[in-house]
Amino acid sequence: MSKPLSIAVTIMLIFFKSPEAISAPVLLSSSQALKPTPSQVETLNHQAGIDSTQYHPEHRVLGFTLMKPPENLGRGILIGRQENLASARHVVRTAKDDKTKTSAQGGTSEARKSAFAGIEAELGLSVGYRLDEFDWNIAGNNNGNNPNVLSELTWDDLEIFQVKIALETIISKVLYVRGSFDYGWILDGVNQDSDFSGDNRTLEWSRSNNSADDGNVLDASLGFGYQFRLAKDKFRITPLVGFSYHEQNLTITDGVQTVSEPALAPPGVSPPPLGPFAGLDGTYDAEWIGPWVGIDLLFRPNEKLSIITTFEYHWAYYEAKANWNLRTDLAHPKSFEHDANGDGIFISAGFYYAVDDQWSVDLILSYQDWSTDQGTDRIFFADGTQSETQLNEVNWQSCAIMLGFAYRF
């Protein structure tokens, strides 16, 4: 057997995971062995003079340097000089279990850290660009005809500046909770409002092309799942269930009449003449709400980079209300409302780069596509009466690119 080096000694901490416990034998160059518990190792990490971190930290205590990689690697290395070996062994041997520490030192920062030892949390903030498309159309009656498309509204190229807050929590490395909230301001966009007398969008008698450069959007989502970690934590698979809420608050302003055919219009109705018309300030406020199921897939090719893809399938109840301010025959502020059942998908891919043990930067791409079944268009007239016709469909597509950062607790 070779003699121990007189200048330095290396201590290996190797964590063996088992259903019962996690042990951390300390193998010394002199073939001695110590077996500190996980809580004793944690105590060693938090001795005075040690800067406690979670990724690639270097902890210095009593002349030793503790190289502690990410938890998923399950090992650590203590490196120090021979003359400090005895003090390092003393710290390991005399460290008390967390439970004993808590009873003897209740309320201390060490006890609080122990209480949250099984919880991982990450708070993220991102900003970015979002582009939406939105449309709906109605039929002439409740049977879906006369004609089958009576009126159609489209909002195209809705350019949105969006801010998003996201929180992810993992409890005991398996129970996964994530929530998010985002809000966006519509900066630009166009609207088209068309009316038809014939089936299949024929005999168009009125069309206006308008501005849609105001309004806002909002999304909120909460999901719960169970996380599976594979291949030494290089892969994580998390099936999820959740609930979400989405808003699009759209506007119509700066009207310009581009098609005007009075001869094709229904009796008693006359479209505006061609050209700009003043006073247009219509609103259409839509809501989608309902449960979803999904899956998150994480791949970590190295210690710095994580790639997360998400897929969600949503069921939604859709409702909307509108104020057509230039229609004197309709009630205000609610001229008509829509309700229907629908569904949607949400897909995203995120790239996360760890700057250090707590901070990371991220780039997230997302796409969502929603639509409704047939529903009801309920019209409220100025004289207090109302009528109904068939809402044929509502469609909403959205894509976004977000850049942000996250802090890991």
pLDDT digits (tens, 9 = 90+) for 213-265: 999 999 999 999 999 999 988 999 999 999 999 999 999 999 999 999 999 99
The answer to whether position 164 is within a domain reads: yes
162 and 92 in a single domain? The answer is: no
Query: Domain end: 69, 90, 111, which one?
Result: 111
24 and 147 in a single domain? The answer is: no
The position carrying tokens 């073939």 is 31
Average pLDDT of the segment spanning 65-79: 43
398 and 319 in a single domain? The answer is: yes
pLDDT for 118: 80
95 and 53 in a single domain? The answer is: yes
- Is residue 64 predicted with pLDDT exceeding 50? no
pLDDT for 31: 36
Q: Count CA atoms closer than 13 A to 133's CA, side-chain side.
A: 9
The answer to whether position 152 is within a domain reads: yes
- Is residue 403 predicted with pLDDT exceeding 70? yes
Q: What percentage of the chain exceeds 70 in pLDDT?
A: 71
- Helices 85-94 and 38-45, packing angle to 10 deg: 130
pLDDT tens per residue across span 281-329: 999 999 999 999 999 999 999 989 999 999 999 999 999 999 999 999 9
- Is residue 28 predicted with pLDDT exceeding 60? no
Average pLDDT of the segment spanning 371-383: 98
The span from the CA of 330 to the CA of 300, in Å, is: 58
Residues 312, 242 contacting (CB under 8 angstroms): yes
Q: What is the DSSP string of 337-363?
A: EEEEEEEEEEEEEEEEEESSSSEEEEE
pLDDT tens per residue across span 330-372: 999 999 999 999 999 999 999 999 999 899 999 999 999 999 9
- Whole domain around residue 286: which residue ranges? 119-408
The answer to whether position 25 is within a domain reads: yes
In the chain, how many domains are there?
Answer: 2
The span from the CA of 399 to the CA of 129, in Å, is: 9
pLDDT tens per residue across span 138-186: 999 999 999 999 999 999 999 999 999 999 999 988 999 999 999 999 9
Residues 313, 292 contacting (CB under 8 angstroms): yes
Sign of the C-alpha dihedral, residues 58, 59, 65, 67? Answer: negative
The answer to whether position 3 is within a domain reads: no
Closest CA to 129 of 180, 184, 166, 191: 184
346 and 378 in a single domain? The answer is: yes
107 and 198 in a single domain? The answer is: no
Kindly indicate the confidence band of residue 38, based on its pLDDT and cuts at 50, 70 and 90.
low
Other Cβ atoms within 10 Å of 404 Cβ, number: 20
Read off the tokens for 289.
């709400």
CATH number, position 347:
2.40.128.90
Query: Domain end: 111, 145, 163, which one?
Result: 111
The span from the CA of 126 to the CA of 132, in Å, is: 18
Kindly indicate the confidence band of residue 89, based on its pLDDT and cuts at 50, 70 and 90.
low
348 and 270 in a single domain? The answer is: yes
Residues 237, 295 contacting (CB under 8 angstroms): yes
Other Cβ atoms within 10 Å of 302 Cβ, number: 8
pTM, full prediction: 0.73
